Amino acid sequence: MIRFQGYERPRPVLRRCRTAAATLCLMAALGIVGVTYPANGAGSLPELPTRQAAVSTYGEAGWQRMQQWPTLVERLRGQPIEVQLAGVNAFFNQLRFVDDVDVWHVEDYWATPLEFLGVGAGDCEDFAMAKYLTLIELGVADETLRLHYVKYIPFDQFHMVVTWTSSPGAQPLVLDNIVKSIEPASARNDLTPIYSFNTSHLWISKLGDTGRQVGDASRLSLWQDWQRRLEAKTLRDPRD
């Protein structure tokens, strides 16, 4: 059975996730200082850019996708956690998996949820981080959530998922864009956990134990940059 740290087939995952995982490991070792997480928190809705900014960057379809995000949050607010997890997972899994090189013309880019919705496509980090942020917006406790780097065994590729656990020692549930249904970690023998992080901490994962905390999440430079762009509502143009 796979034990995720801290807790008792569309298209293959491409080189993007493998590169990002290696970069994150290096940044964690360097111990770079970070910034404060900018989520609005429970009781608020995701802030959208102006219609003009969204349409000029992503077209009318992109703006329509962005508008569905606060609608989703409003609809799921106050619902049981199982309904929230399923709703958020299904919403973002409608988008397409596309490698960063094909969308942003760079090897490694963490799109914010606004950018992800704007282009309607992204890679594993984009799916996972959009789900994570949306659950935070719904008021799901950060200590129950982790962004988890894993190896997806069938493709021998690094990958990112979100995990949620009801209490310390409970079996975590995995929100993924490859296996689209929410499954307990014990059912995901196709994943090998490596490390995870949330807004506060960074953990190293091992099979068969609870994981070892190695620092705080501010040590991840890509995470820092994502937070800054999220707070600024930056909209990167895929045509650039």
Domain CATH number, residue 197? 3.10.620.30
CA–CA separation, 240 and 13 (whole Å): 24
Order of strands across the sheet that contains 191-197: 183-184, 173-175, 157-164, 145-152, 191-197, 202-204, 212-215
Tell me, rounded to whole angstroms, the distance of Cα 54 from its chain centroid: 22
pLDDT at 5 over 90: no
Three-point CA angle 107, 109, 112, nearest 5°: 160
Type and span of the H or E element at 91: helix 81-92
User: Both tokens of residue 17?
Assistant: 């996730």
- 94-151 residue pLDDT tens: 999 999 999 999 988 999 999 999 999 999 999 999 999 999 999 999 889 988 889 9
Neighbours of 33 (CB within 10 A): 9
Cβ-in-10-Å burial (0-12, 13-18, 19+) of 208 comes to exposed
pLDDT band with cut points at 50, 70 and 90 for residue 207? very low
By the 8 A CB rule, do 196 and 145 touch? no
CA–CA separation, 133 and 41 (whole Å): 9
pLDDT band with cut points at 50, 70 and 90 for residue 204? low
User: Both tokens of residue 208?
Assistant: 């068969």
Flag whether 66 is in a domain. Answer: yes
- The pLDDT of residue 29 is 37
Q: What is the CA radius of gyration of the chain?
A: 17
Q: What is the span of the domain harbouring residue 56?
A: 15-232
Flag whether 5 is in a domain. Answer: no
Helices 124-137 and 81-92 pack at an angle, to 10 degrees, of 150
Q: Taking all residues of the chain, what is their mean pLDDT, rounded to a whole number?
A: 80
- Please count the helices (runs of H) and the strands (runs of E) in the chain: 7, 9
Flag whether 9 is in a domain. Answer: no
Tell me, rounded to whole angstroms, the distance of Cα 168 from its chain centroid: 21
- The pLDDT of residue 91 is 98
| Residue in the structure block whose two tokens are 């989703």 | 72
Share of the chain above pLDDT 70, in %: 73
Flag whether 41 is in a domain. Answer: yes
pLDDT at 189 over 80: yes
Flag whether 239 is in a domain. Answer: no
User: Both tokens of residue 106?
Assistant: 């760079």
Number of domains into which the chain is organized? 1
Flag whether 1 is in a domain. Answer: no
